[in-house]
Amino acid sequence: MKAVRGAEGGVVVVDLDEPPGVGEVLDMQATSICASDLSYLRFGSRKILGHELAGTRADGTPVVVEALYGCMACDQCLKGSYNLCATHGQRALGISADGGMATRFRAPTERLVVLPEGLDVRDAAIVEPASVAWHALRIAGTGPGSRVAVIGAGGLGLLAVACARRMGAEAVALEARHPFQREAGERLGATIGATGRFDVVVEAAGTDASIGQAIEAVAPGGTVVVLSVHFGPVTFDWMPLFHREAHLLPSLGYCSHEGGREMEHAAQMLADDPDIARALITHRFPIDDAPEAFRVAADRSSGAIRVVIEP
């Protein structure tokens, strides 16, 4: 079987005797490349990559994998907040544990989510990042009548647009750098350009400047939810938050809560609106061409939003 491993200068396709991972064996049908995968390569990862995963069980049932495993035994895991498990970092696929960018992969049965009818397993790798966006919008209080702005139009930012619309937001504005991102945002129902004040502002670009822009856009009593990952100290102007009694809220992954499993909500959204996947998945490559897939995913001039690797 084949798998994609981190290597000096990028990735290599390797042959394995056994599927990576622990648990039930899946035949992988699609894995997508996340900005986190690119970060892991910069950090020197030599693990099998991949945490945005869709495959089929032995009986053919299509599933996606909740890649936030947790320990499955602590108080946080037992109440569904496996994203907050103290051991989560020890099981992070692609950096501290082998991921699922392979022709076959083992995953815990407890972390499998069956796909709803209408969602093609070839499109389902983006359920995982959609769940990340869903979690951020939910904990920020998005709902009917909310005014939402999204700063940054990579895959997560665009999925945040889709999630906000799904949650009933009255208006969704998007700040996007590239024309192809603006086109995708409009296709998903966003207005380009965040002018005015917003109840929820999603920071999805990952820079100090984008956090500053998000803070400037938040309404009194509103929430800036930080969807991107910032590796280290962050500098921003405190006074706009102070004068508006606004909230600055980090968001980590996804979870299960009294309203259900966030990955199930995200999967149903994608099943009900297949155009989301059509707008987000811009490139597909066979696993043998994984080095080229990663090159394209890292090159904004390629027009890539989500790049999918298939067996």
H or E, element range at 310: strand 306-310
CA geometry: angle 82, 272, 52, nearest 5 deg: 40
- Measure the CA dihedral 118/30/55/47, to 10°: -150
pLDDT for residue 89: 85
Distance spanning both ends of the chain, measured CA to CA: 10
Domains plus CATH for the chain?
A: 2-129+255-310 (3.90.180.10), 141-250 (3.40.50.720)
CA geometry: angle 73, 76, 79, nearest 5 deg: 90
| CB of 305 closer than 8 Å to CB of 155 | yes
pLDDT for residue 178: 95
pLDDT for residue 114: 98
- Closest to 15 measured CA to CA, from 4, 2, 27: 2
CA geometry: angle 275, 157, 8, nearest 5 deg: 105
Whether the full predicted model's pTM is greater than 0.95, yes or no, is yes
Question: At residue 272, what are phi and psi to the nearest 5 degrees?
Answer: -75, -25
Q: Return the number of other C-beta atoms located less than 10 Å from residue 92's C-beta.
A: 18
Low-confidence ranges of the chain (pLDDT < 70): none
Write the DSSP symbol of residue 110.
Answer: G
Alpha-carbon torsion 142, 144, 150, 156, what sign?
positive
Taking the C-alpha atoms of residue 193 and residue 223, their distance in angstroms, rounded to an integer, is 18
Write the DSSP symbol of residue 306.
Answer: E
pLDDT for residue 9: 85
How many CA atoms, within 13 angstroms, populate the side-chain half-sphere of residue 238?
Answer: 0
